[in-house]
Chain A
Amino acid sequence: MSVSKRQRARIIRGVQYGVLVVAVVVFALVADWHQLRMAFFDVGVVKALFPEIITTALVNTVLYTLLGFGFGLALGLVLALMRLSSVPPYRWIAITYIEFFRGIPCLLVFIALGFGVPLAFEVALDMNVTVMLSLGLVGAAYMAETIRAGIQAVPKGQTEAARSLGMSHGRAMVSIVIPQAFRIVLPPLTNELILLTKDSSLVYLLGLSLSQFELANFGRDALNEHKSLTPILIAGLLYLVITLPLGQLVRRLEARTAKAR
C-alpha cells in the first residue's frame, strides 16, 4: 500500500507529538515534586526575600543600568559624530575606541576601573561612578556604531533641504538628521538597554555593601543563606520583569517604524 507525501508528513508529525507526550508523562511520574518545589519555590524563602529584593536589588539593577546607558548613549552619540567627521583624526580616534571597547569583555573594564585605577592612581572612584563608566564605556562602543548607521540611513535629501534653507551643518544635524536617526535606531538602542541590564550584574566584582546589592548579587547571597535555588529563580524572574516589557517596546517601535516608511 502506498502512502502519499501528505499522509507520510502527518504520520511523522503524530509520532513527534507522541514522543513529547511520553517524555512529559515519564518526567511527571519520576520527578520528586516535593524536592523540586523546595529547591525552586520554597514559600518560606520567597517570603524572606521580600521586600528587599524589590526595594534594594531591583532598584539598584535599574539604577546601575540607567547610569551606564545614559553615559554610554551620550558618549556613543559623540563617537558616532566623530566617526562621520570630515576631520580624519576624529575618525581614527572614534574607530580605535569602538574597535577596542567592542572587542574586550565588560568584566575586564570593571576590574580595570574598580581595582586598576585606584591602585595605579591612588584615587578611589565612587561606586556609582565606577559602574557608570564601566558599563557606559563598553555600551558607548556598540551604541556609536548603531547611531552612525542611523545617521547614515537618513536620506541625503534631508540634509540638502535643511542646508538649502540656510541651516548650518551643525544646525541641520541637530534639528533634522539626528531626530530622524534616533527614530530609526530606537529598536536597536532598546536592545542595547536590555544587554546592559544583564551586564549590570558584573558590579559584584567591585565588592558591594548590603545596600548596593543588585538582583544577581542579592540572589547569590540569599542562596548561601537559605541553601535554596529559590532566590536565583526569583531574581531571574525579576530580570524578566525589566527586560520583557523592553522587548515588547522594541517590537512596538519596529511596527511603528515599518508603518511610517
Chain B
Amino acid sequence: MTNFGARLSALPHADRVLLKAMIAAALGLLGLGVALGLMTALARAGLIAPEPDQGYAALTLHSTAAFFYWLYLGQSALLLAFAAADHTGPGRIALAPLAWFGFALMLVGFALNAAGTLAGEPLLYDGPPELATESRGAAGIFYLGYIALALGLIGVASAAIATAFAPKLAGRIGAWSTISFGAVVWAGLLVVSALAALNAFLPAAIWAFGGGTLPIDHSVGWHLLFHNMHYLPLIGTLLTWYVLVGELTGVTSLFGSRFSKLVFCLYLVFVPPTSLYHMFLEPGLAPIVRLIGSLLSLFISVPTVAAFLLLIASLEASARARGARGLFGWIGMLPWRDPAMSAIGMAVVNLAIGGALSFVLIQERLAPLLSDTFFVPGYFHFLTIGAVSLTLLAAFCRVIPALNGGQLRLASLLARLPYALTLGLILFGGAGVLAGLRGMPRRVLDAGYDGASPAVWASLSTWLGVGGAIMTLALALYVGTLLVSLMPGRVRPMPTLTPHALSTMTADAALSKPAWSGPLSVIVLVGAMVALTIVAFRLMQSLPIAAIGGGGH
C-alpha cells in the first residue's frame, strides 16, 4: 500500500463510508448517463426510433446525469479524499455532517431533475424557461434540482476546505503541501461553479413558481455555467495527475511546491474571464465584445499547459536520471499495466485533442460555421469524458481499494479500458467534429429532414453511433468493475504496492537532464490548433455565400 492509500485506509470508518457512498452514487449516475447517451446516439444513427418526448427526455437526463451529477459527485469524493488523506497523522473529514448533507442534497437534486424532466416538457440540460411556458410546475421542479445540486456542492466544498484547514489550525502542519493547496483552490472553483448554477437557475425557478418575469437572459447565465462546468474540472484533473504520478512513480514536481501552487492559481486568473466565446452567435453581441472574447480565450490553455509541462518535465528528467534513453524512452519506463497509469495516459491524449479542437471554436469569425453544430459535443466529450472522467476513474482505481481494504477487481481489464474508451471517443468525437464542420446540428434525434439533409450527415451519424457504443461499453465495464470492487464481502487482501522507482535520484540530479517531451508536445498542440483553424477558415470561405457590407435601407 502506498502512502496516500495507507492514509485513506486509516480514515475513520464513517469517513470511509461517506467517500464510498459518494463514489458509488457517482458511478451509478455515470452508468445511467452513458446508457441514456447510447440511446440518443443510436437514435441519431437510425437504429432506434424513440418518440420525440422520450428521446429528448433521454438526452436531457443523459446530460444532467453525466455532465452535472457524475462530474460533481466524482469531484466531490476525490476532493474530500485528497483533503483528508494528504498529511501524515490522524486524518479525518472536518464538518462531516455538512459533507453528508451536501451529498444528500446533490442526490435530491438529481431526483428533482429527473422528476421535472419526466413530468413536463424535456428542456435539455440548459432548461430554457421559454420552452416551459406550458409546464411551469414541472420546469420549476427541474430547476430546483440544479439549485439543490449547487447548494450541496457548496456544502461538500466547504467541508473539504475545512478539512484542509484543520491540521493547520491544530498546529500539526505549517504550510500546506501542494496537494492541500490545490485541493483548496479546486474547492473554491467548485463553489464558483455552484454560484454560476444558482445564477443561471434561481431566476428561472422563481419564475416557474409564479414569481417574477420570464428570465430573458437565461442563456447568458447558462453559458457562464457551461464554461465553468467543462473547464474548471481541469484543475481537479491536473491535481489528480499530480497525486497519481507521485503514487505510481514516486516522482513529485522537481520545480518546488511554490511553483506548483502558482500554477494551480493560474486557473483562478485565466478560466473565468474566457467564457465569452460560447456567446459569439448571440444576436446583439457587439463586435468589439466578440473580438475581446476571442483574444481572452487564447489564454484559456495557459494553466493546463503549465501544469502539464511541470509534470511531464519532472517525469522525463527523473526517468533520464534513471537511465532512460532516446526521445521517448522515458515513456516506456512508466507502469502502464497499472489501471490508473493507462487511464491518465489516455486522459492526456484526449485533453490534447479536445484542447486543439476548442481553439477552433474560440475564433469569433468561425462561430457562424461551427456554433450550435455537432462540433460542440464532438470536442467537449474529449474534455469531459476523455480527460476529466477518465482521470476521475483513474483515481477511483486507487481510492477504492484503499477505502475497502481489498484489491481492485479485474485490474488487467481496467488497464485496457482507457484505450477502448479513447478509440470510441475518437470515432464519436471525430465523426461529430466532421459532422459539425458540415453543419449537422446538435440536439436533434433525427437529422434527416425528410431526405433534404446531406447524405454525409447520415453516414457520420452512423459513426457517432458506433463510437458511442464503444464508449458506452468501456464506461459500463468501468462502472461495473469499480462498483463490484466497492462492495463489501468480496474483499481480498490488499497487496503492498511499490511505486515505480523513478524517484530515487535527487531532484538536482534529475534537473541536470534535458526534458524535451513537454516542448515538443506544445509545438504539436499549437501546430494542430493552427492546422484546424486554417481548415475551418478555408471551408468557410469556400461556401457559396457572400457577405454584403451593410444592412441598407
Decide whether A and B are members of one complex. no
- Give me the interface of B with A, judged by CB distance under 8 Å: none
- Give me the interface of A with B, judged by CB distance under 8 Å: none
